[in-house]
Amino acid sequence: MLGPASPDTNKATLVQRGFTIVELLIVIVVIAILAAITVVAYTGVQNRAEETKLQSDLRQAGSLIAIDHATHGAYPEDEEDVADGEGLSPSNGTRFEYTSDGDSYCLSATSETRDVRGFHISSETGRVQEGVCDGHEGPSLGDVDGGLSIVSWDQISAGRWHTCAVAGGEAYCWGAGNDGRLGNGDTANRTTPIQVTGLSNVTAISAGGSHTCAVANGDAYCWGSGLQGRLGNGGTDGQAVPIQVAGLSGVTSISAGIHHTCAVAGGDAYCWGRGTYGVLGNGDTAPRDTPALVASLNGVTSISAGTASSCAIAGGDAYCWGWGNNGRLGNGDTVQRASPVQVSGISNVTSISAADVNACAVAGDNAYCWGAGVASPAMVSDISGVTSISVGYVHRCAISDSDAYCWGTGSSRQLGNGDTASQSAPVRVSETSS
């Protein structure tokens, strides 16, 4: 027969029950905290999605307005006049407010469903910025660091007097705007990046002499000067906004040279424009205003059109063709070639760029250059961890650890750092437009 519990046993039972209650309270508190965090996080996600939608609506509207300006020489004075009378069509829940005097415009976007920031785009910068336009209804907060910040550049290309890059699937250019080579609908010079009109899902871009080309949604587009058929659309007229290249699909790489352009589609290489020195790689020197197939290359992954030469990557090796003067073909001699020859001494090539008198490539994590009197590749010693490189007429640019760097002559603002001073060593490209 069991006797009554001892005082020590009762005390232990009370302690055990008390500890269990404390644990339960802790669990309840933790669940409440997690629930509150989840609600706050979900609200934040919704707000960010709404702000992203506002910015996307503004970019699309800005592209339509820029096209109207390029077509008619003035900005539409009313929102209903945009796109030749079709008007602007924002997403559900987006409210637009538009003002224009014909010479300039400002468009604001605010949310009708959520308490989030408003944004605007204007003719002054061509960029989406935080806050609404002066006099518009909504949060007028001004700029954030001068514009919408670009966190990470994906690709960069140095042209003769301008530079272009890709960030988040969108194209940006800066430097000299002659011939409409910046692709934003006008010819003004820009000291920092401005968005190219009408392109999305951009995967490659190339800045040439007086024209620029890009790949968007697998198609090739070019803009700027159309001389010698370098835009590849079957004509020679210039374009201040992108126009599609004829006859190509499934494009994976493109390069705008000084007088010609090359691209990769379906593993084959194509070139068009002026054919002097055999730069089109099709065995002759005649000009072409639509793409011509480059001879004897298979499995091409990348291509670059220079001034008087072209280069490509096929099977991890580098090939060049055109004028061999100054060793610019990288095969150890100076002979002119109208079809591709292999560059000596480098393998596992991932990026290549042909310019005026020299060319550069990335093999492994290192950069190599040749030409300008050096007939075979030499390693560049002042930059490492390189993933992409591009050589312009008077400057060079590279991507290292997702940052963009340029060096050389800056007289047309092509270094992208906000001024015109030349730099002998790489300088980081600015992230915003002003």
Q: What is the mean pLDDT of residues 128-149?
A: 61
Q: What is the mean pLDDT of residues 297-322?
A: 94
3-state secondary structure (DSSP) of residue 340: strand
Q: What are the beta bridge partners of residue 244?
A: 221
pLDDT of residue 340: 97
pLDDT of residue 2: 43
Contact status, residue 109 vs residue 96, Cβ threshold 8 Å: yes
3-state secondary structure (DSSP) of residue 404: strand
Q: What percent of the chain has pLDDT over 70?
A: 85
Contact status, residue 181 vs residue 211, Cβ threshold 8 Å: yes
Ranges 79-88, 185-194, 313-322, 393-402, most confident: 313-322
Q: In which band, very low, low, confident or very high, does the pLDDT at 154 lie, cut at 50, 70 and 90?
A: confident
182 has pLDDT over 80: yes
The shares of helix, strand and coil residues in the chain, as percent rounded to the nearest 5, are 20, 35, 45
Quote the DSSP letter at residue 43: H
User: Among all chains, which residue has been given the structure tokens 């650890």?
Assistant: 401
Q: In which band, very low, low, confident or very high, does the pLDDT at 143 lie, cut at 50, 70 and 90?
A: very low
What's the pLDDT tens digit per position in 247-304? 999 999 998 988 999 999 999 999 999 999 999 999 999 999 999 999 999 999 999 8
3-state secondary structure (DSSP) of residue 273: strand
What's the pLDDT tens digit per position in 12-44? 443 444 557 767 777 676 676 666 555 444 455
Residue 190 and residue 413: Cα distance in Å, rounded?
7
Q: What percent of the chain has pLDDT over 90?
A: 39
Better-predicted residue by pLDDT, 66 or 152: 66
pLDDT of residue 221: 98
pLDDT of residue 83: 76
Q: Which helix (H) or strand (E) holds 288?
A: strand 288-293
184 has pLDDT over 60: yes
Q: What are the beta bridge partners of residue 377?
A: none
Contact status, residue 184 vs residue 195, Cβ threshold 8 Å: yes
Single-letter residue type at 100: S
Better-predicted residue by pLDDT, 129 or 47: 129
Q: Which helix (H) or strand (E) holds 390?
A: strand 386-391
What's the pLDDT tens digit per position in 79-127? 888 877 778 888 888 889 999 988 889 999 998 888 778 889 998 878 8
**CA 326, 327, 328, 329 torsion: positive or negative?**
positive
Q: In which band, very low, low, confident or very high, does the pLDDT at 209 lie, cut at 50, 70 and 90?
A: confident
What's the pLDDT tens digit per position in 378-422? 887 777 788 888 776 667 787 877 777 776 777 766 667 777 888
Q: In which band, very low, low, confident or very high, does the pLDDT at 161 lie, cut at 50, 70 and 90?
A: confident
pLDDT of residue 314: 97
User: What mean pLDDT value characterizes the chain?
Assistant: 83
Quote the DSSP letter at residue 217: T
Virtual CA dihedral for 372, 374, 377, 380, nearest 10 degrees?
-70
pLDDT of residue 424: 66
pLDDT of residue 284: 94
What's the pLDDT tens digit per position in 348-369? 999 988 888 888 899 988 888 8
